[in-house]
A and B are shown apart, each in its own frame.
Chain A
Amino acid sequence: MTTSQHPPVYLDHQATAPVDPQVMETMLPWFTEQFGNAASRSHDWGWQAERAVDDSRKSLASAIGAKGREIVFTSGATESNNLAILGVARMYAPKGKHLITCVTEHKAVLDPMQALEKEGWDVTWLTVDSTGNINLDELKASLREDTTLVSIMHGNNEVGTLHPVKEIGAICRQAGALFHCDATQTLGKEEIDVEAMNIDLLSASAHKVYGPKGVGLLYVRRRNPRVRLAPIIHGGGHERGFRSGTLNVPGIVGFAKAVEICLESCQEEQGRIRQLRNRLENKLTNTLESAEVNGHPENRLACCLNISFGYVEGESLIMGMPGIAVSSGSACTSASLEPSYVLRAMGVGDDLAHSSIRFGIGRWTTEEEIDYVAETVIHAVNRLRDMSPLWEMAQEGIDLSTVEWSGH
């Protein structure tokens, strides 16, 4: 290709994002001059750190319509999800041992749920339709007297589908079950109001919003109802006893700054990103046959484009676009050869699940990069189809679903 000299393009922003230089700048003094332990109550270094953490707490709380004291800092969204699920399940075990979640949640929700199942909890696994959405009637029917927690994510990390969080919150509130929402993909991008949405616990992470890795938060409602948690990390009693461990002050300061930047121009930025996403989507689907977009057509994260390119295998396609960072199948399990469990749950056939690529657009993605990526992908798909026996059969009019494959 003539364009092989193009500089690398990062389109995997749902996996992680670069730290915004302004965030970095805000963080730096907290590593060196102001290095104090926020739990040190006897000197200025400690007081300064404590003040910085409190300011960050308030700032982050206001981003989701909460109060500062309702924010618990963690090491990231995986820990937040674990704390919410294990913490609520164990604390409320005397009330009941039934939990509800959805099969397309992140592994950081699915795995603690499975662990609890082994310990004797009863878990209802809600399924999704072809757009990735749960059925609200199914949720209502699943709620029981002994249901203590419902955990449903806001935006899906693989296909970007947004769940109707407000409706889910209302249903849970009415049934008297706590509602935990994994908002890792949506904080700073989609509107979140824990009051209007009746969210009782909410997980988020800094590195998805151009903040540093290694810091996240769990919102824990303090009033109407007051949510209690059994801690999973024990120690010095930090974070009101919910999460012991010295606070990551630079990380927390950076997290707050990162979300502030996102919210300053949220509408404008998301609009621009959506435009770039649509540009890529249109170029690919208009030029290539059998390029199917996965996820909800409208209610979807602006940055996310997950496409199955029929008759082409995803890993070989990624190999055909060197210098372009995207993910195939499930980013978190790309090391395995299993097709994405999210796409499977949506009813996407295993053949198409093997053919899917996730493009994640970010703050600094340019139109020129989008055009280059589209051109490279189209070239690679066409080249691979020329050597695909499945494409050849499809061109001959053979219905691949009727073929008896040998498997292996």
Chain B
Amino acid sequence: MAYSKKVIDHYENPRNVGSLDKEAEDVGTGVVGAPECGDVMKLQIQVEDGVITDAKFKTFGCGSAIASSSLATEWLKGRTLEDAYAIRNSDIVEELALPPVKIHCSVLAEDAIKQAIADYQNKQHAINELAPTAK
């Protein structure tokens, strides 16, 4: 299968590979996919005042899966959580020129973003509930 130039670029020079402290209060982690299916994506965001200041990924999967998650981290940095939530898999398909057989990679990336945001929000929710009433 021939890959698009952008997929090859992300595969060869992946942006933001790595891990953030998943226990940190300001970090949200999303892990989607399954080894049996041939793709697992871990995507993490660090948030300050509702804005994503850092994003990291690690992916087990084909070149398109690696490229989709690499691109996602690139797009996430600097976005508000609301804007991040609005990222659609079709945006990723378009940007990377993914063929139909690879669309599931973009779906995984969207799921990973949403899961990371949800994880962050759950943590904040728990903190707010535990904190003494400051208001």
Contact of B31 with A389 in the complex, beta carbons under 8 Å: yes
Nearest CB in chain A: distance from B60 CB, A: 5
Residues of A within 8 A of B57 (CB): 387
Q: Could you tell me how many residues of chain A have their Cβ less than 8 Å away from some Cβ of chain B? A: 25
Bound complex: CA A408 to CA B35 (Å): 11
Q: Is A32 located at the chain interface by the 8 A CB criterion? A: no
Nearest CB in chain B: distance from A180 CB, A: 34
Residues of B within 8 A of A141 (CB): none
Contact of B36 with A405 in the complex, beta carbons under 8 Å: yes
Nearest CB in chain B: distance from A93 CB, A: 41
Contact of B35 with A350 in the complex, beta carbons under 8 Å: yes
Selected contact of A408 from candidates B8, B60, B63, B107, CB within 8 Å:
B107
Known contacts A316-B11, A387-B14, A387-B17: A406-B63 contact under CB 8 Å: no
Interface positions of B from 81 to 135, Cβ below 8 Å from A: 101, 104, 107-108, 111
Residues of B within 8 A of A391 (CB): 60
Q: Is B75 located at the chain interface by the 8 A CB criterion? A: no
Contact of B66 with A316 in the complex, beta carbons under 8 Å: yes
Q: Could you tell me how many residues of chain B have their Cβ less than 8 Å away from some Cβ of chain A? A: 32
Nearest CB in chain B: distance from A118 CB, A: 28
Q: Chain B's interface: helix, strand, loop or mixed, by majority?
A: mixed
Residues of B within 8 A of A268 (CB): none
Question: Looking at B3, B41, B62, which has the most chain A CB atoms within 10 Å of its CB?
Answer: B62
Bound complex: CA A313 to CA B34 (Å): 12
Contact of B66 with A387 in the complex, beta carbons under 8 Å: yes
Contact of A319 with B41 in the complex, beta carbons under 8 Å: no
Residues of A within 8 A of B24 (CB): none
Q: Is A371 located at the chain interface by the 8 A CB criterion? A: no
Nearest CB in chain A: distance from B11 CB, A: 6
Residues of A within 8 A of B14 (CB): 387
Known contacts A313-B39, A319-B11: A386-B34 contact under CB 8 Å: no
Known contacts A319-B3, A319-B11, A337-B101: A351-B35 contact under CB 8 Å: yes
* 0 or 1 for each of B6-30: is its CB under 8 Å from A? (1 = yes): 0010010010010100000000000
Known contacts A337-B101, A389-B42: A316-B36 contact under CB 8 Å: no
* 0 or 1 for each of A391-408: is its CB under 8 Å from B? (1 = yes): 110000000100001111
Nearest CB in chain A: distance from B42 CB, A: 4
Selected contact of A405 from candidates B17, B40, B101, B104, CB within 8 Å:
B40
Selected contact of B60 from candidates A319, A339, A390, CB within 8 Å:
A390
Selected contact of B37 from candidates A312, A388, A408, CB within 8 Å:
A408
Q: Is B32 located at the chain interface by the 8 A CB criterion? A: yes
Interface positions of B from 63 to 78, Cβ below 8 Å from A: 63, 65-66
* 0 or 1 for each of A286-317: is its CB under 8 Å from B? (1 = yes): 00000000000000000000000001110110
* 0 or 1 for each of A350-382: is its CB under 8 Å from B? (1 = yes): 110010000000000000000000000000000
Selected contact of B32 from candidates A315, A349, A406, CB within 8 Å:
A406
Contact of B38 with A313 in the complex, beta carbons under 8 Å: yes
Bound complex: CA A315 to CA B59 (Å): 13
Selected contact of B108 from candidates A337, A389, A408, CB within 8 Å:
A408
Q: Closest residue of chain B to A311, judged by CB?
A: B60
Known contacts A350-B36, A405-B36, A406-B34: A388-B59 contact under CB 8 Å: yes
Residues of A within 8 A of B42 (CB): 389, 392
Selected contact of A389 from candidates B59, B62, B63, CB within 8 Å:
B59
Known contacts A319-B3, A319-B11, A389-B40: A405-B61 contact under CB 8 Å: no
Known contacts A387-B17, A389-B41: A406-B60 contact under CB 8 Å: no
Selected contact of B59 from candidates A349, A350, A387, A400, CB within 8 Å:
A387
Contact of A349 with B33 in the complex, beta carbons under 8 Å: no
Residues of A within 8 A of B60 (CB): 311-313, 388-391
Residues of B within 8 A of A406 (CB): 31-34, 111
Bound complex: CA A319 to CA B61 (Å): 11
Bound complex: CA A349 to CA B38 (Å): 11
Known contacts A316-B63, A405-B35: A390-B11 contact under CB 8 Å: no
Contact of B40 with A390 in the complex, beta carbons under 8 Å: yes
Bound complex: CA A354 to CA B78 (Å): 35
Residues of B within 8 A of A408 (CB): 32-34, 37, 39, 104, 107-108, 111
Q: Closest residue of chain A to B101, judged by CB?
A: A337
Bound complex: CA A323 to CA B97 (Å): 23
Residues of A within 8 A of B40 (CB): 389-390, 405
Other than A313-B60, A316-B11, give 4 A-B pairs with Cβ distance below 8 A.
Answer: A311-B60, A337-B38, A388-B59, A392-B42
Q: Which residues of A does B touch, CB under 8 Å?
A: 311-313, 315-316, 319-320, 337, 339, 349-351, 354, 386-392, 400, 405-408
User: Can you list 18 A-B pairs with a CB-CB distance of less than 8 A?
Assistant: A313-B62, A313-B65, A316-B62, A316-B66, A319-B11, A319-B62, A319-B63, A387-B57, A387-B66, A388-B60, A389-B31, A389-B60, A390-B40, A391-B60, A406-B34, A408-B37, A408-B107, A408-B108
Closest CB pairs A-B (n = 4): A405-B34, A351-B35, A350-B36, A389-B42
